[in-house]
Amino acid sequence: MVIGNKVIHFKRIESTNEYAKHNLNNLTDGDVVIADEQTKGKGRLGKDWYSPKSGLWFSLVLRSSDSQLAPLAIGLALCDALEGLGFKARIKWPNDIVINSKKVAGILIEVENHRLIVGIGMNTNILKFPEPLANEATSLYLESGNKFGKTQVLARILQAINQRYNLLVTNQIQELFNDWRRHSAILGQLVLVTLPRKKIEGSALDIDIQGALLIRTEDGSVQRVVAGDCQLIRVLY
Ligand code: BTN
């Protein structure tokens, strides 16, 4: 599989993930679908994803070797790419990429016919976010005062995904976990995870082998969370 061997480019599209999903039969593993602008960008948990022209929005088709751990590998690859550009990026479980505690990139992985559609949204040159995003989102430009070429950022991300995904397919899971822990924005901190029917507050202990978050709550029990929205409440040390 050659990641990024074929890149399909759109000026404007509803969502690159939706395009990839509906055209999966014509796409080979490693193909990339990119759009200058998305009119119906999709985020996790059914949310919309703000996708103006000044960001990097693309989807990558991968074979599903391990869909549970793919978010880990992809999240780390985004940190690698950002570190290569001079940023200190961290992962807020499950796979929000943050710089100075604000979200700079998101990952939406969908499984279709045993293949993964990895949607990546990176806020590259966004100058201003609309409410209510303004408090929680940032861009490479807002963090550095510099504008970044999308092709350059895309190339770095694809190269980093290639390397991290190889760790996954060659079963070098421990390295992946250790690096993930080093890049985590929440381990050891007090977090609040919002689930469809309840909220769990406690200290983020670790992730397990399936990538689920383990939280120690006030009563001392350990709760396992597979998916949800996580907020950092307080830095404990
Ligand atoms: C998140 O909620 O954090 C995930 C955001 C994923 C956004 C990207 S942009 C490219 C791809 N196409 C979409 O519609 N969504 C993903």
* Ligand 1 atom closest to the CA of 96, numbered from 1: 3
Exposed (0-12), middle (13-18) or buried (19+): which is 53, by Cβ within 10 Å? middle
Which residue type occupies 98? V
Instruction: Compute the distance from residue 81 Cα to the ligand 1 centre, in Å.
Output: 18
Please tell me the distance from the alpha carbon of residue 202 to that of residue 167, in angstroms, as a whole number: 31
pLDDT at 52 (0 to 100): 98
pLDDT at 210 (0 to 100): 87
* pLDDT tens per residue, range 207-217: 998 889 999 99
Please tell me the distance from the alpha carbon of residue 196 to that of residue 65, in angstroms, as a whole number: 28
pLDDT at 229 over 90: no
Instruction: Please count the other Cβ atoms lying within 10 Å of the Cβ belonging to residue 149.
Output: 11
Identify which of 19, 49, 93 to mutate to test ligand 1's pocket (most ligand atoms within 8 A of the CB).
49
* pLDDT tens per residue, range 63-89: 876 567 888 999 999 999 999 999 999
How large a percentage of the chain has pLDDT more than 70?
97
Q: Match 């983020």 to its residue by tokens.
A: 204
Which residue type occupies 139? S
Identify which of 7, 12, 17, 56 to mutate to test ligand 1's pocket (most ligand atoms within 8 A of the CB).
17
pLDDT at 56 (0 to 100): 98
100 φ, ψ (degrees, to nearest 5): 50, 45
pLDDT at 237 over 70: no
- Please answer whether residues 161 and 3 qualify as being in contact, where contact means their C-beta atoms are separated by less than 8 angstroms: yes
How large a percentage of the chain has pLDDT more than 90?
80
pLDDT at 67 (0 to 100): 62
Instruction: Compute the distance from residue 154 Cα to the ligand 1 centre, in Å.
Output: 15
Q: Which two tokens stand for residue 148?
A: 């970044």
| Averaged pLDDT of the chain | 93
Which residue type occupies 81? A
Classify 131 as helix, strand or coil: coil
Instruction: Compute the distance from residue 97 Cα to the ligand 1 centre, in Å.
Output: 12
pLDDT at 147 over 60: yes
* pLDDT tens per residue, range 162-214: 999 888 888 888 999 999 999 999 999 999 999 988 999 999 999 998 889 99
Nearest to 176 by CA among 58, 79, 106, 59: 79
pLDDT at 236 (0 to 100): 63
Instruction: Compute the distance from residue 130 Cα to the ligand 1 centre, in Å.
Output: 17
- Please answer whether residues 116 and 159 qualify as being in contact, where contact means their C-beta atoms are separated by less than 8 angstroms: no
pLDDT at 8 (0 to 100): 97
Mean pLDDT of 148-157: 96
Mean pLDDT of 232-236: 76
Which residue, judged by its Cα, is nearest atom 16 of ligand 1? 119
pLDDT at 13 (0 to 100): 98
pLDDT at 129 (0 to 100): 97
Classify 13 as helix, strand or coil: strand
* pLDDT tens per residue, range 1-51: 789 989 999 999 999 999 999 999 999 999 999 999 999 999 998 999 999
- Please answer whether residues 211 and 219 qualify as being in contact, where contact means their C-beta atoms are separated by less than 8 angstroms: no
Instruction: Compute the distance from residue 15 Cα to the ligand 1 centre, in Å.
Output: 8
Identify which of 39, 50, 57 to mutate to test ligand 1's pocket (most ligand atoms within 8 A of the CB).
57
Contact residues of ligand 1, CB 6 A cut-off = 15-17, 38, 41-44, 47, 49, 51, 57-59, 96, 106-108, 119-121
* pLDDT tens per residue, range 124-144: 999 999 999 999 999 999 999
